Structure formats: C-alpha cells, structure tokens
Amino acid sequence: MPKQLTTALILLMITLSVAAQEKRALLIAIDKYTPPPGTKIAGTARSVFRDLDGCINDARSMQSIISSRFQFNASKIDTLYNDAATRVAIEQQMLALLKKSEPNDIAFIYYAGHGSRVPNSLSNEVDKIDESMVPSDTWKPGVEDLRDKQLAGIFNQFIDKGVKLTVIMDCCHSGSLSRGPNDPGSYRFIADANYDAKDASRPVIPETRSEGTFLIMSAAQDNEYAQEQRDENNIAHGAFTIAFMQALQQQSVNASAINLFTSIRAILKSNGKKQEPVLGGSSLRQQQTLFGIEKGTLPDKSLIAITGIDRNRVTLQGGFALGLYKENELVKFNGKDTLVKLQVESVVSVNKSIAVVIKGDSKDLKPGELVEVTNWVSSDAPLLKVYIPSGNMTYEEVVRLAGVNNELKASKKVKWINDLEKQDPYTTVFFDGEKYRVNVDGKDQPAPSTITSGSILQLSKQDSTLYFELPTSRSLSAAIKERIGQNKSLVIVNDVNDANYVLFGTVDENGKPSYGLRRAQTSARDSLESMPVQTKTFALETNMSAANKSIADSIYEYAMRLSKIRGWLQLSPPKEGTSNFPFRLELIDKSTQKPITNHEYRLGDNIAFHLVADSGNTGASAAKRYIYVFMIDKNGNMVLGYPDSEGGNVNNQFPKLDSKKELVRDVLLFEGEVSDPVGTDNYFLIASDEPIPNYAAVFNQEGVRAGTPRGGSPLGNLLNMGNEGGTRGFTKSASNWNLIKLPVKSRR
C-alpha cells in the first residue's frame, strides 16, 4: 500500500474514532436528607439528618460547564437530585451509564452530598472503616450507604470495558474535627453508620490500574471536612466545587488534569479553606485532559445555548457557573461575519442569564442554538472577605486576658505557641465573636465559665501545644471595621465561614495585646502556600484613639496585600482562541541545567527563567505580544522579572524569528537566586498586544502603594488590583491579552 494512502487511512480511522466517541454524564446531588414530617425514626443507622444548601447548585453548575465548555449533549446528561437520589437509584443509574457506554467513550460521575463512614470488621484496613456516599433515603430502616469498596467494583467495570471514566466527589469522607481556631460551619458529613458491613472483599483500587482510563478528584482527605460556603454571588456551593468552577474558567479545555487540580487547590486555599483535595489516577491519565478527551478536538470557547426569545430579549442557558457577567457579549456567526450580537443584561442564577440584541435581528435566532462568548468582562466581586469578631469587651478586659495569655506562655505544663505556620495546637482557646470556644485534640469542649490560666491548663495535656487567641476591644474593632470599609475591594462579612481571613489577637514578646490577620481555617501544613496562614501582628499599647487607628491602618495595609495575591490567583483571563499565546514559562536549575518539573526550589538556588514555545507552534500565525513577567510572594510584594526596568518596550515582543525566519523556540528571559520569604512564589506572564508604558513602576511594588497605571493599555485598572484605591478590574475589554501562571514552592 502506498505510504500516502496509508497515512490518509490512519487519519480517517482517527477521525472516525473521535467522531464515534460519545460523552455521557451522571450528576448526583442531595441537599434534602430530612425525612418527611412526622416520620418515626426506628432502627435506622442515624438519628440526625442535616440538610445541605449547595449540592443542587453544584450539580447545576457542573451541568452548565460540561455542556458549554466540553460539549456534552444535554440528552446524554442524567441527573438524580434530592428524593430521586435513593440508594437503589444511584446504583441503578451508575450501572445504566456503564451499560450505555462503549469502549473509548467518555463517562463522568459527579456527586455532591453527605459523606460518611461504615464500620467493616472484615476490612483489611487498619481502622476497619469504609468511607461512603450517603443516599437521600438514609433515614429509612435497612437502607445502607454506598461504600468505597462497592463503588470501586462499579468503577472497575468501566475500566474493564475500556470506558474513560472521570469521577468527582464533593463530600466528606470522615468526620474528625481539625485542630486550630476553626468554626466547622456547614460541612458535608453525617454520622457514622451503626451497622457492620462485614465485607472482606478487596477490589483493585481503580486509580492504581495500569489502563490509565480512570481519574478521580475528591474534595477532602479521609480525615477532613468538605466545607460548604457562599460564592461571590452569595450562592451556596461546596468549597471544592467553587474552586473547581473558578479553575475551569481560568484553564483551557486542553489543560491537563494535574494542572487543573493544581489550580483548584490554589484557589481553595486562597478562599481560606484548609481541606486538602485529592487527585487519583495514573501519571499518564493525570497528564491528559479532565475527561480524557483528546487535546485539540474541542474548541476552547464558551458556547451558550439559547433557551427562549421574547422580542429583543434572549434567555441563555448559562450564568455564574460559566463566569458570565453583565456586559458580556455573545455572537451568532454567519461564516466569519457577525449575524447577531447579544449583550448580557443580567445574570439570574448559576445557569441562566438574560441578554438583549445589540446588533442584527432576533428573528435570526432560535431556541437550542449556540452563541459564542466573544469578550472578556471582569468580576466585580471583592478581592478579600474579612471577618472581624464582635468587639464587646473593654480595653481593660482585653488587658486582663492578655495577662492570662502571658501566664499560659510562662507555664511549664504546656508549650505555648502563637505561630500557626509552624505548628498546629493540641489545645485551642479562641473567641468566636460571642463566646469563648475550646478545642482539644480536634474535639470541641465546653469552655470554662471564667477564663483563667488555671481553668485552661486543666483542659490541657502535659507537654502539649496550646494556642490562646485574644478578642478585640469595642473601640479597636470599630476602628478596623471603619478603615477596611473604605476600600470597596475589601468586604467585612458577618459569617466566619464566608471569610478568607479573620482578625486575631495574641501577645507580643513584651506581653502586649497584638493583632493581625489569619486564615479563616488554619493549618501548619499550609505554611508553604501562596496565602500566608497568618500575617505579622501589631501591638496595642494604649486605649487611645491614635493607638487604635495605628493598628487599623496596619491591618488595612495587610488586607490589601492579601487581596493583591488573591486577586491575581483568582483572575480568569480571556479564553484561548484567536488570542492564544502558544508559549510557556520554564524554570531551569542552573546547577544541573535541567528543567524544574515539581514546582519546587530552595533558598539559595540559582534559577533561569525561559520562554519556551509549545510543541507544534511554528510562530507563523501567532500575533505579536509584549511580554511582562513578574512575581508576587506570600507577603504581597511584586517584583518585575522581565524586561529590565531600563530596557523599555523594545525587545520584549514575541514570537521572535531568527535570521532564517524560523521561530526562536527557547529564550532566556532572566536569572536569579531564590530568597526569602519561604512559601509559594507566584509567577505571572502577561502577553498584551499593546505595551504597558510604566511597567517598571507597575510590576515593582513593595506591598500595595505604588505603580498606579493610567491609560495607554487595555489592562488598565487590572494592573492596580489590590493597591491603595485599586479596584477589582476594568469593566470589559476585547480578548487581546493573555495570562500564564506558574506557582513555585520555595523551601529552606
């Protein structure tokens, strides 16, 4: 057979294979667990059935995303919500999905609801516990959970059949409380079952199988809560799913699962949550796209379905979940020409928006058609949410409690700590805004009626760590609220579970009350994250208004620093497409001359930063872009890496061609030595079709009070994000800039 014909036949076979590949999904979400009114609970495994708030929102958001971004056909997406998600129905629908799927098909199972644990005396695991999904009819006698071993058996059948299966679970897998000053809030865990599964089976763990067709993402480790929280639009969701949706808005459909997961984790942490998500699957599978769809087979566009037309107003099947905002524009094309252009007038819910026709005729639209999002609009959500505990104490009362804290610090029974980045406390005493709370070894304990060093030490274990958090005085609390309230990019929330950071108090080296900001949920293991576990603290010397104002100014300064980090981490750039910039940042360890692939380096390492062309990029069709690379450390300091401050916008345009008019595929941008602070350094590459005239001032900022850019660039106020007087971003722009992010952990 001629070589040309063989190649053509292979290409035809690949095309037919991709065309025949079906995508199917099963979305399971349960908010309602309470039995019908008047139901007598007898013989059931549980007696308390807490309802949830965000699971249905999660599933509807997921449905919107997989339809718009990943082109799942609506007719091939099955749902089980609330009462429909019974124990029998869940298993039946999973098996039905298995039956309908053919080899090489794409299958997706999503679950949002309660997770729990089931005793299993015959298990080979040390704890003799199986983790489980909790069905909506768990209140009925004899209804068992779906245990991990049973689910593994079902998932293995998909693998055996050659189906590419992706599973996402936003639920708790265990109920042990975590240490530290954390209000558990609303979480997706229900009490352990009271029956023994007596299951000695040992199914192969699906994510360990060599076929590489299985991927699972879970919201939390098996000893953690999966939290619920409200998003920027005050809609209840799972904290993991919020991060998941934001990451999908940031990432291309061609992003690898591991890169997507890295983004999810960073966003989850920046939202103040300590839960540790889990990614399971072979190394090969993790390098593939989220659903295992071949890279390049899906257009990286947001395609939104029209669901209704009323004269000039059009209802769209897409909302907050897809990152739609007021003033987003959507187009129905006639070839390359615009036939009808819509502009979003209001976003109603996670999967619904209302738009008006601004060009063309609505008669050229019909329900079911897909329109394409063509411009970028920034979110007007606050950059940072801060919780300030109610200050209902006098300055004198706070000073008395500082004395208690100093006595605890001097005690020989416990190891007093106030640096939560270094160590998690065994005993925690903190004020939640209304009363003192005590947590001992992960379990809440009744607080003493009177807080004294003696009453606290009675609750403490010999030689264990102790953390005692001071409240604020009325006057200090009021001063901080007033100062933070002056910046619309910062917002004070009334519920600690909605906060990214919380005001906290301790004593300094001189025994004075001292205040700073800490993560809403603290964990020493997060000390190397982008967002610090806690900031430095500032001592309150007197109750004079000047002293309160000084502390309020310092807290405000650090709130802005934190908002800068979080703002850039959360930022969703324009989608790829015509504005695609096919390059990546690559770090080279100069001592070995090898690329750094684990996103880690150490203090003192000498690192070279290269701009490297993606494979297949010839540079022939890529538009010229002005390149700027900067870094933000965990203290909020911004440092310019490229171009040189004095270089001007002369040599920073890419792509570059050599003397033979061929693409220069690898360019050294800059070199440097890794220095303090230890933590995650976030590198950002901005590629803009217009130069930024004052880039040296914009990207060299100590803290948050420098480099306000004015005019000359479509990036505008975005570059001022997190600064004094800065805003969330500009309203809208064409998709004429790109943003590449690269987080790297620095260690000692």
What confidence tens digit (pLDDT) does each residue in 292-303 have?
999 888 888 889
DSSP string covering 117-169? EEE-TT-SSTT-EEEEE--TTTTSTTPPPEEHHHHHHHHHHHHHHT-EEEEEE
Mean pLDDT over residues 259-263, rounded? 91
Separation CA 309–CA 317 (nearest Å): 12
Level-2 CATH architecture, domain 303-377: Beta Barrel (2.40)
Q: 609 by DSSP, 3-state: which?
A: strand
Separation CA 348–CA 369 (nearest Å): 20
The residues, any chain, with a CB within 8 Å of residue 218's CB and separated by 6 or more, are 168, 169, 173, 277, 278, 280
What number of CA atoms fall less than 13 Å from residue 553's CA on the CB side? 7
For residue 540, what pLDDT is reported? 92
Could you give the percent of the chain with pLDDT greater than 90? 58
C-alpha angle 547-553-555 in degrees, rounded to nearest 5: 105
Asked whether 13 and 104 are in contact (CB, 8 A), the reply is no
For residue 703, what pLDDT is reported? 61
The rounded mean pLDDT for the chain is 87
Q: How confident is the model at residue 733 (pLDDT cuts 50, 70, 90)?
A: low
Distances (CA, A) of 442 to 161, 176, 272, 455, 460: 43, 7, 19, 19, 13
Asked whether 359 and 374 are in contact (CB, 8 A), the reply is no
β 23-29/106-112 pair status: parallel
129-133, 146-150, 225-229, 272-276: least confidently modelled range = 225-229
Separation CA 103–CA 149 (nearest Å): 24
Q: Three-class SS string for 673-705?
A: ECCCCCEEEEEEEEEECCCCCCHHHHCCECCCC
Q: Which residue has the higher pLDDT, 360 or 177?
A: 360
Q: Which residues of 628-652 are buried (b: 16+ CB within 10 A; e: fewer)?
A: bbbbbbbbbbbbbbbbeeeeebeeb
Helical (H) or strand (E) element with 562:
helix 545-570
Level-2 CATH architecture, domain 21-287: 3-Layer(aba) Sandwich (3.40)
Separation CA 532–CA 43 (nearest Å): 48
For residue 734, what pLDDT is reported? 54
Mean pLDDT over residues 696-724, rounded? 63
For residue 185, what pLDDT is reported? 60
What number of CA atoms fall less than 13 Å from residue 413's CA on the CB side? 15
The residues, any chain, with a CB within 8 Å of residue 196's CB and separated by 6 or more, are 119, 120, 121
Q: 480 by DSSP, 3-state: which?
A: helix
Q: How confident is the model at residue 1 (pLDDT cuts 50, 70, 90)?
A: very low
Q: How confident is the model at residue 524 (pLDDT cuts 50, 70, 90)?
A: confident
Q: How confident is the model at residue 175 (pLDDT cuts 50, 70, 90)?
A: very low
For residue 369 the two structure tokens come to 């058609």
Strands across the sheet containing 594-595: 594-595, 583-589, 606-613, 666-673
For residue 573, what pLDDT is reported? 81
Where along the chain do its domains lie? 21-287, 303-377, 384-568, 573-747
DSSP string covering 166-215? EEEEES-S--PPPSSS----SBSB-PPPSS-------PPPGGG-TT--EE
What number of CA atoms fall less than 13 Å from residue 414's CA on the CB side? 26
* pLDDT score of 8 more than 80: no
Mean pLDDT over residues 220-244, rounded? 87
The strand pairing partners of 147, in sequence order, are 132
Which among 74, 58, 76 is positioned nearest to 303, based on CA atoms?
74
At residue 97, φ and ψ (nearest 5 deg) are -60, -40
For residue 699 the two structure tokens come to 């990207």
Q: Mind listing the pLDDT tens digit for each residue in 590-647? A: 999 999 988 899 999 999 999 999 887 777 666 789 999 999 988 888 899 999 988 8
The strand pairing partners of 310, in sequence order, are 313
* pLDDT score of 708 more than 60: no
Q: Which residue has the higher pLDDT, 581 or 420?
A: 420
Distances (CA, A) of 110 to 56, 98, 278, 529, 572: 11, 14, 15, 28, 24
The residues, any chain, with a CB within 8 Å of residue 563's CB and separated by 6 or more, are 382, 383, 384, 489, 490, 704, 721, 722
Asked whether 619 and 583 are in contact (CB, 8 A), the reply is no
Query: Which amino acid, 487?
Result: N
Asked whether 504 and 516 are in contact (CB, 8 A), the reply is yes
Q: Mind listing the pLDDT tens digit for each residue in 55-85? A: 999 999 999 999 999 999 999 999 999 999 9
* pLDDT score of 12 more than 50: no
Q: Mind listing the pLDDT tens digit for each residue in 183-205? A: 556 778 788 888 888 888 889 99
Which among 533, 539, 544, 484 is positioned nearest to 507, based on CA atoms?
539
Q: DSSP alpha helices (H): ranges in 239-347? A: 239-250, 257-270, 283-287
Separation CA 388–CA 501 (nearest Å): 9
